[in-house]
Each structure stands twice: as structure tokens, then as C-alpha cells.
């Protein structure tokens, strides 16, 4: 992934650099990352195999001042279209949200509309933002993923380098099934800082049965893979589609929060409804 890390756009990001924290609203703090950079490395940019997708963000550290100077807090949900030109770099997103801290806004709708407008402008795509008062979530339960967990296998792992070839010959063309598979062992790394990103991944497909051992080995190989959350999900989708050729496929990752944000991307070539409640590690 050195080619990606050394791309001029990536090198210009504030990520991994000493930064100044601003507490007055500043939309210019948001930094876009063109999705085309990584998709060209996947060799699927000209023929993207997924038809639908969103990047779902949960904003846990959002605050501002009302017209009287009284602090306000909320949790916000963000849905960013996967076919926007850009993804939003997460550190810049955190810095942008910090800039709300000492800024007065007339009402909650103004805050919500401001965030939605700024993200859409930065991403060059469709964005939906929903602010939720904390008392509306006081009875929110921890969600449970429904499907077959493939983690409890008695296998030995000796190589942790990313290897998509682990999926080669993994599909049984004589056994067509409909499956939802889950793994909590997904770990990738930030492409700039190399800090770990932990997540659970849900793979739902209809097609030739995928060998669970090969799939788990493949997912574990992401432990040394350096890419943003959204790019990891697209990598998984492209590799499964290429090597296993399912008729329908969806890949959804729920990453643990870092710096008050969690990022939960999903990609699918069929109708898909994404779980939005937080998991136990979120």
C-alpha cells in the first residue's frame, strides 16, 4: 500500500501530523479523499461490482452553544453515499466537529443542516444527517448480529500479511446456498498512522458455498492491511465477488469508535438494510 500512502492527496492530509484545535466553526477543516485513488488500486474503478452502499457514521462527541451560550449536546447519525466522489477523512471530521464547541447556533435544525451541507460539499455526493437528543437513546439496547459466526475454528495462523489469494478455490459451485456469515476478528490499520482499527464484519450472500476456513484466514490477513474503513469493505466485497462469484452479495463492517466517531460502511449488489444500533464494542 505504499503507492497509496505516497499519493500527493494522502500526503497533504492533516492525519498523522501535529494539528491546532479550533473551537469556532470552520467548514474548511473537512478534508476529502477521492474514492478513485483506492478503487484504481482495486482494479474495479471502471466497473464497480457493487450497486449500492453507504458509509454510516455515528457522532458521539457533538456539542455547540445555543443563542444564550448554554452548551448543547447530541448524538448524530450520518449516511454518506458510497458513490460520492470523496470519502471524508476521519481526523478532519473530528477537527471539524470540535470547531462547533464554542460556536452559537440558533437551533438544532441549523446545526443539523450545517453539518449535512458541509459534508455534502466536501464529499461531492448525497448526505443525510440526523441529530438525536440523548434522552431519546436512554433505552437503546446493544444490538446482536444474526448469522453464523465463523470465528470459532480450530485453525493455526502463521502468516498475517494480506493475501486475497486465500479466497482462491473457496467456492463450491455444486452447492448453492444463502448464508449470513459473521466475524469479529476484522482488524486493519490506518494507512497513515498505522493505528489499529477493530471491527465486526457481516457477509451475506447467495451463491456457491464459501469455505469458512479460507474466508476466516482471508479476513485475518487484514491485520497488516493499511487502508481506511471504507476501502477495507470495498476490498472484501471485490475479492469475494471475484473469487467466489456469488449471485448476490453484501458486506457490512461495524468498526469500533475512535475519537468519538465510529464508521460503518456497507456495500451490496442487492437490496440491503443496514443495522444501525451499536454493537457491544461500540
Catalytic residues: 190, 197
Pairing between β-strand 148-149 and β-strand 171-189 as defined by DSSP bridges:
parallel
- Distance between CA 122 and CA 185 in Å, rounded? 32
Helix 35-42 and helix 229-244: axis angle, to 10°?
30
Residue pair 232/223 in contact (Cβ under 8 Å)? The answer is no
Residue pair 151/184 in contact (Cβ under 8 Å)? The answer is yes
Starting at the edge strand found earlier in the chain, the sheet holding 127-132 runs: 127-132, 71-81, 52-65, 261-268, 248-255, 196-210, 171-189, 148-149
The kind and range of the H/E element at 180 are strand 171-189
Helix 212-220 and helix 229-244: axis angle, to 10°?
150
3-state secondary structure 191-247: CCCCCEEEEEEEEEEEEEEECHHHHHHHHHHHHHCECCHHHHHHHHHHHHHHHHCCC
The kind and range of the H/E element at 114 are helix 108-123
Amino acid at each position: 500500500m505504499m503507492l497509496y500512502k505516497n499519493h500527493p492527496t494522502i500526503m497533504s492530509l492533516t492525519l498523522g501530523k501535529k494539528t491546532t484545535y479550533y473551537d469556532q466553526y470552520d467548514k474548511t477543516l473537512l478534508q476529502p479523499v477521492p474514492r478513485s485513488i483506492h478503487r484504481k488500486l482495486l482494479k474495479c474503478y471502471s466497473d464497480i461490482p457493487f450497486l449500492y452502499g453507504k458509509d454510516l457514521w455515528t457522532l458521539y462527541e457533538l456539542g455547540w452553544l445555543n443563542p444564550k451560550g448554554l452548551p448543547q449536546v447530541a448524538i448524530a447519525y450520518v449516511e454518506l453515499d458510497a458513490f460520492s466522489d470523496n470519502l471524508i477523512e476521519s481526523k478532519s471530521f473530528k477537527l471539524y466537529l470540535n470547531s462547533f464547541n464554542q460556536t452559537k447556533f440558533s437551533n438544532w435544525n441549523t446545526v443539523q443542516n450545517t453539518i449535512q451541507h458541509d459534508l455534502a460539499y466536501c464529499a461531492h455526493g448525497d448526505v443525510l444527517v440526523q441529530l438525536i437528543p440523548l434522552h431519546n437513546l436512554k433505552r437503546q439496547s446493544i444490538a446482536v448480529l444474526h448469522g453464523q459466526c465463523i470465528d470459532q475454528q480450530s485453525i493455526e495462523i502463521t502468516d498475517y500479511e494480506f493475501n486475497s489469494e486465500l479466497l482462491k478455490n473457496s467456492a463450491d459451485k455444486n452447492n448453492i446456498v444463502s448464508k449470513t456469515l459473521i466475524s469479529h476478528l476484522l482488524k486493519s490499520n490506518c494507512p497513515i498512522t498505522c493505528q489499529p482499527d477493530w471491527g465486526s464484519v457481516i457477509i451475506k450472500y447467495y451463491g456457491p458455498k464459501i469455505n469458512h476456513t479460507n474466508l476466516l484466514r482471508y479476513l485475518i490477513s487484514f491485520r497488516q492491511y493499511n487502508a481506511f474503513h471504507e476501502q477495507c469493505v470495498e476490498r472484501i466485497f471485490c475479492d469475494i465477488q471475484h473469487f467466489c462469484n456469488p449471485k448476490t452479495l453484501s458486506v457490512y463492517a461495524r468498526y469500533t469508535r475512535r475519537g468519538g466517531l465510529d464508521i460503518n460502511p456497507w456495500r451490496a449488489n442487492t437490496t440491503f438494510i443496514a443495522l444501525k444500533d451499536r454493537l457491544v464494542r461500540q
